[in-house]
Structure 1
């Protein structure tokens, strides 16, 4: 049995601060600036769409199912986004970036086939290794024989292998200068058909992601859980192409039956609010009466896109630092 001490909230926040600081450095393979600049080069060659469209069924079931509680572990088919957030590494972020790149082709075209190489010899080239910001954490005193390009190449290959397993992408490894990547429909194939090449949503219900989510670097600084929650709140709040949603409450029953997202994912609304991507206000408890115990109406949310125009790395660093300052010492104080 493990005797390791569970990490405190403060230590987890400090680890995240360290990760964000590494993204800010100009060290090869870690820089946030390179990933953002590479995507902007793709965007500048396109018709510059204001939003990237993702099929609603990527994050939400088409038909709700009955789930008893967060502790309900019965096997069930989950929305693709809910499955992807569990993947380690850069797979989830890379897939979203690839969906954005597919909608930012020269001349306003939309293509399921992305002919960008995995790696290139030039730092300014458009290659998949230059579209990610992993913020790697080399162990002190460790001498790596592989160069940073080789290590990032392996990260991208590992991510594409993860995406190929549920048929999100088709990887043509033997095609020069390759391998080009073909995106499949983000909702996955039906049981009775082969994976279908991606195409931009037409009459299907979709979630609109403002281009600033990519061009300002939010895709690189949010955690997988925060991205999943943000997409869930965007869909449930029906923000569409507007800049601000109406106020809404997300019931636990709907969170589970439609999105199959955990309470831990829902809880990230607090950090998303500190970063300026939404607002959340918890209602006060109503006093107990003859009809039942003390209760409250729940948390009132509103999604706001104005904050996406801010530098994502700076906003994330500030939000995590403020959160850490608010919890440092609380664990020790509680034990007294």
Structure 2
């Protein structure tokens, strides 16, 4: 098999440098929270040591049919016409991270495939038990002012907002919805396909090991903290690549499929630059295509000049936090606007 050529990431421009500095500061405020959430996930996974991958059904990340309408990178399909994974993306929200965390928790906590997991975990943990808040990293800090709100209260509000979003998309059910402030306790996972046009969604069933409709994410994606350190665009890109089989083979993605089936625009596609910097993704540059996406001597459809990608599952075995900080530092050390 032909070796991949790593694409040398282009130097960040001035706007990207501002974004990288902001991300660096945000991650640094989360260092303790990331460490605790990652440790708690590793502890849960250790109870099921034979589980090497978390299975996710493709309908979470890809529409079966292309979204109708005339869409482009400047005019993405509206959220209702995107798959669940990209419907729940947001720059600062936690819905996507929380749902992935819930899939991880269900598969490390339950033993039998094709069963519906029961959520006996409370939102707020105790001294003896791990709660959902203990599995979610957050930049929350104690805040004083007219109304004091501590970190625990902020994380609780963040989880409530995430569960509210997931409930609207029919990705979780709320059996205690009439229980006032406790309405989010005991939430139940629903099928990855989310809201259906034909009728209500069903409760989630654990996938079978040989489920042809599911793809794998390495367990280390969770136990080494990558789920906490990635931006939503990077999470979505990894999910897209994994669903295409990029953990075992080289793949390409046509622009129309990326837009109309995965609901991902150019910004999310550009996530491959950071993933390449992190050593998680090999990129074979398309002939005549520059690192910024422009095509040399362009004369025809851009899908004739596609980059090829391959995920590197062993890369997820590296602790995420320090790897991401190092990659950002290295990018900021490069000359800008080149």
TM-score, normalised to structure 2, is 0.81
Match of 1:165 in 2: 168
| Distance in 2 (alpha carbons) for counterparts of 1:258 and 1:201 | 22
Match of 1:313 in 2: 321
Match of 1:52 in 2: 54
| Distance in 1 (alpha carbons) for counterparts of 2:46 and 2:183 | 23
- Is the 1:35–1:133 Cα contact (8 Å) retained in structure 2? yes
- Distance change (3 Å), C-alpha of 1:170 and 1:280: same
Match of 2:3 in 1: none
Query: Number of residue pairs matched?
Result: 311
- Distance change (3 Å), C-alpha of 1:205 and 1:136: same
- Is the 1:102–1:111 Cα contact (8 Å) retained in structure 2? no
Deviation string 1:131-173 (CA, Å, 9 cap, x unpaired) is 111123677x858622221221121111111111111111233
| Distance in 2 (alpha carbons) for counterparts of 1:182 and 1:295 | 41
Match of 2:202 in 1: 196
Q: Provide the secondary structure at the position in 2 that maps to 1:272.
A: helix
- Distance change (3 Å), C-alpha of 1:282 and 1:133: same
Deviates more, 1:216-225 or 1:273-282: 273-282
Q: Provide the secondary structure at the position in 2 that maps to 1:253.
A: helix
Match of 1:9 in 2: 16
1 or 2 for the larger relative contact order (CA 8 Å, sep ≥6)?
2
Match of 1:132 in 2: 136
Calculate the aligned-residue CA RMSD, in Å. Answer: 3.0
- Is the 2:55–2:216 Cα contact (8 Å) retained in structure 1? yes
Q: Provide the secondary structure at the position in 2 that maps to 1:180.
A: coil
Task: For residue 271 of structure 1, report the CA deviation from its aligned partner.
Answer: 0.3
Match of 2:334 in 1: 326
| Distance in 2 (alpha carbons) for counterparts of 1:284 and 1:58 | 32
Q: Provide the secondary structure at the position in 2 that maps to 1:136.
A: coil
The residue correspondences of 1:118-267 to structure 2 (distance < 5 A) are 118-122=123-127, 125-136=129-140, 145-173=148-176, 174=179, 179-202=185-208, 203-236=211-244, 238-239=245-246, 244-267=247-270
- Distance change (3 Å), C-alpha of 1:70 and 1:171: same
Match of 2:278 in 1: 275
Are 1:19 and 2:19 matched, yes or no? no
Match of 2:7 in 1: none
- Distance change (3 Å), C-alpha of 1:136 and 1:327: farther
Match of 2:42 in 1: 40
- Distance change (3 Å), C-alpha of 1:107 and 1:73: closer
Match of 1:3 in 2: none
- Distance change (3 Å), C-alpha of 1:111 and 1:87: farther
- Distance change (3 Å), C-alpha of 1:214 and 1:303: same
